[in-house]
Structure 1
Amino acid sequence: MLPSNWIRWFRPGAGHLSSAQPEFTFTAVSLGLAIGCLICFTNLSLGLQSGWISMMSIQSALIGFLISRILPTPLTPQEIIVVQTTAVATGTMPLAAGFVGILPALGLLSEERDGTPPIHLTWLSAVGWSCSVAFFGVFLSPPIRKQVIIEEQLSFPSGTATAQLISVLHKLPPPDTSVRQRAGYRQLDPEEDVPVHEAIADVPVVEGEDEHDVEEREVVEHQGWHALLYSFVASGAMTLSAYFFPVLFSIPLFGNYLAKEWLWYFTPSLSYVGQGIIMGFPTTLSMNLGMFVGWAILSPLSKLSGWAPGPVGDMSTGARGWILWTSLGIMCADSLVSLLPVVWEYITDLVKGRSNYVSIGEHGTKEDHETETEDRLVPNNWVVIGLLASVVFGTIGVWIVFGNEGIKPWATVLGFILGGLLSVIGVRALGETDLNPVSGLGKVSQLFFAWIQPGNIVANIIAGGVAEAGAQQAGDLMQDLKTGHLCHASPRAQFYGQLIGSSISIVVTTTAYTLYNRAYVIPGPSFPAPTAYVWLSLARLLRDGQLPEKSASFMAVFALLFGVLSAVKTYTTRRQVWWAKWIPSGVAFAIGFLNTPSFSIARLIGGIMEYVYRTRYAKDGSDIRLIVVASGFVLGEGVVSILSLVLKTFGVGVASCWGCGHGLCGGCPAVV
């Protein structure tokens, strides 16, 4: 029999054990870890392919809900939020720990050019590196939550959308985002002190619930499994077929000449289509505009003008390496300009010694708008101890893995401090725009470390990765905390889920990356790891200032153009102008430069599907059925990629290289 205080430890929010329902349960955490591991493999694969990953928070909640329907005791909404939070913490580690950018970049180092040989971490070293950066953002989240969710009430669109979905599926009232106008989570009615979890469980029908919500819930409950299963199987079958017949993912749609010489081919990946559905039409349109400008205009221009004389796909002397610099200029300009209003407001509030978001009570004191009881919050002493421990042990871990030659301990400490500052900026940008500009924040950190530790490329990449990890992780977890806030989930329960998900993901992500490295060349045809070149190229530029011929001019022109577009987009978005979403996104536009056309075209198909379905078939402009299908597409390829990895590791090769004469099929040699 467990002591009562142990029960309270494992049941956050159970201040009244006889009435409150548990949230942090073994079932919820186990289900979250299982879903998170699938997302982790999927994100690692997609990140190494395209430099883009997804939080998959809505997808995690959907899948968790569907699975919970077949359990003896269905999970409560708060348990589903723990499922989602744990899954997101597990699934986003490939980006947080730099497996899709930082580590491949270190492997691209050249002793002749950079003064240091390539750095390839062993499995144990990669675990040590991941442990060093995996927890700083988790401990940073509780104090940031207090400011941006409770006091400033930032919208966090994805987190709010997930809360709305959970409310619909569990027959709850729509989440009330106006914290000032409700009594709080401790009490539903001023006259009755009823625990909210108990009250919610007893509500069979929601007053005022519209027919659309009822229909959506019934569709998910009764047809969701079928849609998820069919889309999962279709995507998995396509992926497995492409493993044995590689030409299926390298179709020379525009002819063998354009495919071989200019890298114009088509990859009909259903996972890419699913990602396009999740991204939405405006984002995929921006990406494809960038793809067209980069690969149909600038790539031939640089090649034919002699500025990039090497093969088009060569990242050093070819057009792909040349247009990378224009992409880098766009990303830096877009990210920095979009951050300026957030930084300005933050500095203004600090200088004036006030906050526009904190009201003053009757007696002249600041009013605390926290709606949770102390036993449901993460204690401040945990936060302080956790932050100090993560910095100390993280610094020691980085020093053990890379040594003094790689990065000095003081530089790592500065990386953590900078990461904390950038996290505040990134989280506020995410809360307002639903975009965490970690790419731009990473460039800011590289610029800073090029100034304080000039000439050291390894230190520049590592310290930048430390800073980016905290900003990225804190931002992703904040979306989950917003969902929990709106659906009355315990922040402490979510905190536990985040810690467990991050811990397990260290081993899962490291093992997956090690297996991919053994089976494939990274970067290579199957996994080009485009963001690795971004990190390394900027580090080299900051060290020696050398750019390919004429690239500086195009870099400056496009940076100026997208700086202006970003300013207009930020201004119109803040004023909720309807056409703001159609202004091209600089980051998405730049991603179109980084990836070959094959990665962008399939995503555009998904974006078009989302737009047509939402505007013509979905009721009231929103329907979650397409999200279920998109989730199946993405997860199907992610799961089957594990099988493909096992086949590759055990030497099971392709069945036929027919049609691979353009030499772009993964697993097939170039056939002339």
Structure 2
Amino acid sequence: MPAPEQPTSSARQSRGLSAEAYRPLDGREYQPYVPAAEQSMAEFTLRAVVLGAILGVVFGAANAYLGLKVGMTVTASIPVSVISMAILRGLLKNGTILENNIVQTIGSSGESLAAGIIFTVPALIMMGMAPGLGTMFLIASLGGLLGVLFMIPLRRWLIVKEHGHLPYPEGTGCAEVLVAGEEGGSKARNVFAGLVVGFLYKLGMDRNAFALWSDAPELGLHKLRTAIGMDALPSLVGVGFIIGPRIAATMLAGGMLAWLVLIPLIAVFGDGLAHPIYPAVDTLISAMEPGDIWSKYIRYVGAGAVTFCGLVSLARNMPAMLGGLKGLGKAVSSGAEGVAGKRPRTDVDLSLRTVILGAIGVALALWLVPSMHLGLVGAVLVVVFTFFFTVVSSRVVGLVGGSSLPVSGMTISALLGTSLVFVAMGFEGELAKMAALTVGAVVCVGISTAGDISQDLKTGFLVGATPRRQQQGEIIGVLTAAVFIGLILNVLHAAFGIGSAELPAPQATLMRLVVEGVLDGNLPWTLVFTGAAIGLMVEMLGVSGLPFAVGLYLPMSLSVPVMLGGLIRGALEQRKSLSEDQRKEGRENGVLLASGLIAGEAVLGIVIAVFIVTRERLGLSWSPAIPHPWGAGMEGLLGFLLLMGLAAWFTGRVLSAGKGEKP
């Protein structure tokens, strides 16, 4: 049978993804955007690999900074795709859709690896057990490799055979963006506009830069013994737009419970006490500021709520987990191998032999490398947990998307399981804590990477990429990002202090509490169970418990600007004058603009961190701060007004894009 005629580039752009991309059918019958018979189109090129690696490091750094700041991360596939199209197709004029797909595959792997690292490794830093650069590279690379390798034999089952049943929302959305590549220049303007605005805003605001206005305006409510403030950060407005008004409002509700109910109650009942209340040991409640009460008491309540709701989220996905395990045998029996010439180009994976040998090599490294402190038991636990949760995460993101993947719940489960095994075997002390957190770190990276490559493989399936090339690209992206993630964490810690008010690392703090609580038995369990009870009540009310628990756990000042971004998204969604296509256009442009704000602020944050460390190493006292005539009160008001101005600018660009106007 002759090969089907290859459509021209203009024909492809005009037809977009076919209806079969969304309809349940045997994936082997699906005709991708670039047909399998196409052998000459550039795909795995040097420029695509280099550009993907660079963007992976940039967005990985942005996710590391954002995750340490607020405990949340964002996906980078679509922003990376748009930037890639702007460079390869816009500037160089000859980029192909398959090259752009390789760029986003490599770039997003760096972002997902950073997301896994910042949930756990900072806990070791805060406990005074900071791993060296070599150890951080091993944690990141070995976890990432396990996530990639374990996903390879699942591709043909989850991506191909389950086509139409598992939608993979982010992967499908990224494919739509790639297919609409003729709009790359227009869409790229939103990413770059966000980058510039986020960069300049932080340059003017940051106390280690120009320091022209306050980054945390606050209103004290002295009669209530609390305060209402906001971290006036563009990145948080961007996060709010991405997650939407419902989740943002749920987060804010959790923060309001903590800061407007629990903190005033603790202050009132503790005012007359003549002795400290555990876990505080040397400070009376009457002498505490609202932030002290949050630090000593509320964060344990929040930790209990986050742990409980994370496990509920995990349990809620149990059908998907069981489905994943039932289908695993089918996946392995169908084989991961595809030999060029025997299978179509679009169905060729890395060989099953590569998967097995690679997994054995990773397991041996986990066991035998002394700096990992795992031993045989720890290595086995890593492989078992990562394998199990890779199956789970790959199916869950196919059903509900990566933003709903309960990474924290899975990681907590791995930490609890590991800690209980260690207790049963008599392992104790600081070395046991280090080993438990290292297990959790590798597993967390594996979970995050597996979820990401699942979406990437779905994108590749829809556009007609070669799976083997994507898998090779994912490995390159993991190794490249792993080289830099340790440097990024070290610079941020040296400049700001991980665990400080500047970088509170909320998820890592939670993981630390879990491990110390199980191995030492010194958690304030009453506060933890109170948080779990609050989480249970929220779930019983039909509200998504995990965002509420995160809001309860974080300072409310972080949730306020997130809510502002959610309101902008809500204004777009509720605008009756817009058609559904216009809302979709505004949504896409808003996500790109938000991603740019996040990346721009984070990039400058890392530049400032490098400046601070360099200045201290050289013994310099120079500061870039610009003298100004207004006082602290005006700094706070100016910070508030400027953030409102930024929100108005953001809203205007999103709504004008929704109307089809040039943003």
> More displaced, 618-627 or 315-324?
315-324
- The Cα shift of 1:432 comes to 0.9
What pairs with 1:562-601 in structure 2 (closer than 5 Å)? 562-564=538-540, 584-601=543-560
1:285 maps to what in 2?
249
1:584/1:605 CA distance change after superposition, 3 Å: same
Could you tell me which runs of 5 or more consecutive residues in structure 1 were left unpaired when the two chains were aligned. Answer: 1-12, 110-117, 171-216, 360-369, 566-582, 665-672
1:660/1:473 CA distance change after superposition, 3 Å: farther
1:559/1:584 CA distance change after superposition, 3 Å: closer
**For 1:452 and 1:72, how far apart are their aligned partners in 2?**
55
- The Cα shift of 1:389 comes to 1.4
1:165 maps to what in 2?
177
AA aligned to 1:585 is S
1:482/1:304 CA distance change after superposition, 3 Å: farther
AA aligned to 1:267 is D
Residues 126 and 498, structure 2, Cα contact 8 Å, conserved in 1: no
2:215 maps to what in 1?
250
The Cα RMSD (Å) is 3.2
1:386 maps to what in 2?
358
Q: Which has the higher helix share?
A: 2
Residues 255 and 551, structure 2, Cα contact 8 Å, conserved in 1: yes
- The Cα shift of 1:549 comes to 6.8
Where 2:180 maps in the other structure, the secondary structure is helix
1:562/1:426 CA distance change after superposition, 3 Å: farther
Where 1:391 maps in the other structure, the secondary structure is helix
Residues 59 and 628, structure 1, Cα contact 8 Å, conserved in 2: yes
Residues 49 and 473, structure 2, Cα contact 8 Å, conserved in 1: yes
- Report Cα offsets for 1:335-384 as digits up to 9, x if no partner: 2332222234456778xx989xx99xxxxxxxxxx984487322221112
1:238 aligns to 2:208 (yes or no): no
> More displaced, 143-152 or 36-45?
143-152
**For 1:474 and 1:653, how far apart are their aligned partners in 2?**
43
**Of 449, 460, 469, the match for 1:493:** 469
- The Cα shift of 1:635 comes to 1.8
1:349/1:483 CA distance change after superposition, 3 Å: closer
2:388 maps to what in 1?
421
2:122 maps to what in 1?
104
1:538 maps to what in 2?
514
What pairs with 1:30-429 in structure 2 (closer than 5 Å)? 30-96=50-116, 98=117, 100-109=118-127, 118-153=128-163, 154-170=166-182, 217=183, 220-221=184-185, 223-243=186-206, 244=209, 246=211, 248-255=213-220, 262=226, 264-306=228-270, 309=285, 311-314=289-292, 318-346=296-324, 372-373=344-345, 376-397=348-369, 400-403=370-373, 407-429=374-396
2:450 maps to what in 1?
474
1:26 aligns to 2:46 (yes or no): yes
TM-score by length of 1: 0.75
- The Cα shift of 1:661 comes to 8.7
Residues 306 and 546, structure 2, Cα contact 8 Å, conserved in 1: no
- The Cα shift of 1:151 comes to 2.1
1:608 aligns to 2:567 (yes or no): yes
Residues 276 and 605, structure 1, Cα contact 8 Å, conserved in 2: yes
Residues 146 and 359, structure 2, Cα contact 8 Å, conserved in 1: yes
AA aligned to 1:548 is P
1:345/1:498 CA distance change after superposition, 3 Å: closer
Residues 264 and 596, structure 1, Cα contact 8 Å, conserved in 2: no
**Of 441, 449, 454, the match for 1:465:** 441
Residues 325 and 391, structure 2, Cα contact 8 Å, conserved in 1: no
1:180 maps to what in 2?
none
Residues 139 and 438, structure 2, Cα contact 8 Å, conserved in 1: no
Count of aligned positions: 555
1:622 aligns to 2:632 (yes or no): no
1:312/1:541 CA distance change after superposition, 3 Å: farther
**For 1:631 and 1:654, how far apart are their aligned partners in 2?**
27
**For 2:326 and 2:193, how far apart are their aligned partners in 1?**
53
1:431 maps to what in 2?
398
- The Cα shift of 1:263 comes to 5.7
> More displaced, 649-658 or 450-459?
649-658
**Of 505, 509, 512, the match for 2:488:** 512
**For 2:195 and 2:326, how far apart are their aligned partners in 1?**
50
1:178 maps to what in 2?
none
**For 2:228 and 2:295, how far apart are their aligned partners in 1?**
19
1:555/1:253 CA distance change after superposition, 3 Å: closer
1:36/1:343 CA distance change after superposition, 3 Å: closer
> More displaced, 507-516 or 463-472?
463-472
- Report Cα offsets for 1:302-327 as digits up to 9, x if no partner: 34334663554359962343333333
**For 1:597 and 1:438, how far apart are their aligned partners in 2?**
23
**For 2:298 and 2:368, how far apart are their aligned partners in 1?**
38
Residues 381 and 418, structure 2, Cα contact 8 Å, conserved in 1: no
Where 2:494 maps in the other structure, the secondary structure is helix
**For 1:427 and 1:564, how far apart are their aligned partners in 2?**
28
- The Cα shift of 1:593 comes to 2.1
1:44/1:392 CA distance change after superposition, 3 Å: same
AA aligned to 1:395 is W
- Report Cα offsets for 1:38-74 as digits up to 9, x if no partner: 1011111101101111121111111211222333333
- Report Cα offsets for 1:466-522 as digits up to 9, x if no partner: 222222211111111111111111111111211111111112111111111221211
Matched residues, percent identical? 24
> More displaced, 303-312 or 469-478?
303-312
1:341/1:559 CA distance change after superposition, 3 Å: farther
> More displaced, 645-654 or 442-451?
645-654
**For 1:634 and 1:552, how far apart are their aligned partners in 2?**
32
- Report Cα offsets for 1:95-143 as digits up to 9, x if no partner: 23x2x2322212333xxxxxxxx20223333233333323111111211
- The Cα shift of 1:637 comes to 0.8
2:655 maps to what in 1?
none
- The Cα shift of 1:441 comes to 0.5
1:556/1:255 CA distance change after superposition, 3 Å: closer
TM-score by length of 2: 0.76
> More displaced, 556-565 or 135-144?
556-565
Where 2:91 maps in the other structure, the secondary structure is coil
